Amino acid sequence: MDLFGRPYSVMLLAVALLGNGCSRNLLEERVAEGVIEYALTFPDYDPNGLMAGMLPEKTTVTFTQDKQLAELSAGMGVFRTAIVTDNSQKRMDYHLSLLSKKLVSRLQPRDMLTFNKEKPALTILYTNEVDTIAGYPCKKAVAVFGGIDKPEIELYYTDRIRIDDPNWYGPFQEVPGVLLRYEMVQYGMRMRLDAVAVTPGKVDAARFAQKDGYQEVPPAVLDHELQEVLGTFSL
């Protein structure tokens, strides 16, 4: 028989868990699979301008511990990209769909320079500032560029999402966590990404396979196509 009654026993169990650190480990558990949804904005574009309706409003990143799939749609679905990243193999399958044209290119680390020809030198400064984004605690860093005309970029990253080496292919590769709020510039377009939701859950491995029906092309060909397409958004 429980001498002190069930509520008292439950309280003792809770105290014991706190004492041995079990509950602390549960609170600090990291998510290993799921989907991150980001809201997209373009600071250099007039939200009421002619091209506003053609720009994407969101992107999703489906992830496991060593793989990511970033999907984006623009131009009312005319332009789509699906980027499959294998972090353990350090390779990326970049799918581009434009009307009836479907291209895919496999990129290795050496190919990233093709897509970042004007990438300036930068320094990452780490701060003690923190914030909560999409329910996850984030630390703040600041990217300072060597060029005087390049504004600083605030980076918020979390260690509660378990993706190995999540930034190896981009300019912020040294940041030790998953970026949940940041900016990036591609083909002259500045884009801000803000995570609005993180949905943990089992991910089908087939999501990361190279997609059927796409013509394989060298990285330089894909780069040329992206320059032409994204150049139309800067008109």
One digit per residue, pLDDT tens: the chain, 235 residues? 444 444 444 444 344 334 444 333 434 678 999 999 999 998 887 766 666 667 889 999 999 999 999 999 987 778 899 999 999 999 999 999 998 899 999 999 988 877 766 566 789 999 999 999 999 999 999 999 877 677 899 999 999 999 999 999 988 999 999 999 999 888 778 899 999 999 999 999 999 998 999 999 999 999 999 888 876 665 4
Answer yes or no: is 25 within a domain.
no
pTM: 0.84
Answer yes or no: is 105 within a domain.
yes
Nearest one of 185, 124, 187 to 156, comparing CA atoms: 124
Answer yes or no: is 17 within a domain.
no
- Give the domain extent around 58: 34-234
Q: What's the first-to-final CA gap in the chain, in angstroms?
A: 79
Burial of 106 (0-12, 13-18, 19+ CB in 10 A): middle
Answer yes or no: is 156 within a domain.
yes
Answer yes or no: is 2 within a domain.
no
Answer yes or no: is 14 within a domain.
no
Answer yes or no: is 23 within a domain.
no
Residues for the chain: how many in total? 235
Distance from C-alpha of 199 to C-alpha of 156, rounded to nearest angstrom:
18
Domain total for the chain? 1
Please, are residues 139 and 130 in contact by the beta-carbon 8 Å criterion?
A: yes
Answer yes or no: is 9 within a domain.
no
Distance from C-alpha of 168 to C-alpha of 181, rounded to nearest angstrom:
17
Query: The CATH number of the domain where 159 resides is what?
Result: 2.50.20.10
